[in-house]
Structure formats: structure tokens, C-alpha cells
Amino acid sequence: MTGKERAALRAAANTLPAILHIGKEGVTDSVAQQAWEALEARELVKGSVLQSAGLTAREALGKLCERTHAQPVQCIGNRFVLYRKADKNSHYGIE
């Protein structure tokens, strides 16, 4: 992903609400499943890490990107944005 593409995605994510919320249990299978489905539906997803979580937003973003094959776009404070081009033929599978 080029810098211009990343900048355009960051700008598009500015107005998005955070739909993924990482709690004290961290990146669970259900959170990864939810992220996968959200990426298939929207391609660009914003999330947040609650204060009670035992990991940072950067750590959560890394784990989610690894499990969903997405690319990190932005991580600021307790919020993060990830992107993956939708592949309507793919199915989520825990790795």
C-alpha cells in the first residue's frame, strides 16, 4: 500500500464509528470473526481498545491484521483502523 493510498484510507476512516471493541479478554475468536465479517462488508473498519484490556491498540491491531489478513492503516491512542479488500468468496477460518 502506498503512502497516498494509506492517507486516503485514514481520511475516509475519520468519520467512521468504532465498531470493534476489544475488552479485557483481548482478541478472542469472536472478535476476530466479527472483524472478518466487518471487513467483508465494509473493507475499512475502525476499532477501539477499552481501558480494561490488557493490551495496547497497536498490539490489538497487529493481532487482528494477522488473523484477518488485513493491513494496518492507523493507530492513535486507543483507536485503530484496518483495511482489507473484500473477497466475497472467502470464508473465515481460525488459524
Return the CATH number at 29: 3.30.110.60
What pLDDT is attached to residue 35? 94
Q: Please name the helix (run of DSSP H) or strand (run of DSSP E) that holds residue 47, with its range, or none.
A: strand 44-49
Residue spans of the chain under pLDDT 70: 88-95
What pLDDT is attached to residue 94? 43
Residue 64's φ and ψ, nearest 5 degrees, are -65, -40
Structural domain boundaries enclosing 40: 3-83
> Would residue 89 count as lying in a domain?
no
Q: Please name the helix (run of DSSP H) or strand (run of DSSP E) that holds residue 50, with its range, or none.
A: none
Q: Please name the helix (run of DSSP H) or strand (run of DSSP E) that holds residue 10, with its range, or none.
A: helix 3-13
Question: What is the pTM (predicted TM-score) of this model?
Answer: 0.85
What pLDDT is attached to residue 18? 94
* Angle, vertex CA 68, rays to CA 63 and CA 69, nearest 5: 95
> Would residue 52 count as lying in a domain?
yes
- Give the whole-angstrom CA distance, residue 32 versus residue 39: 10
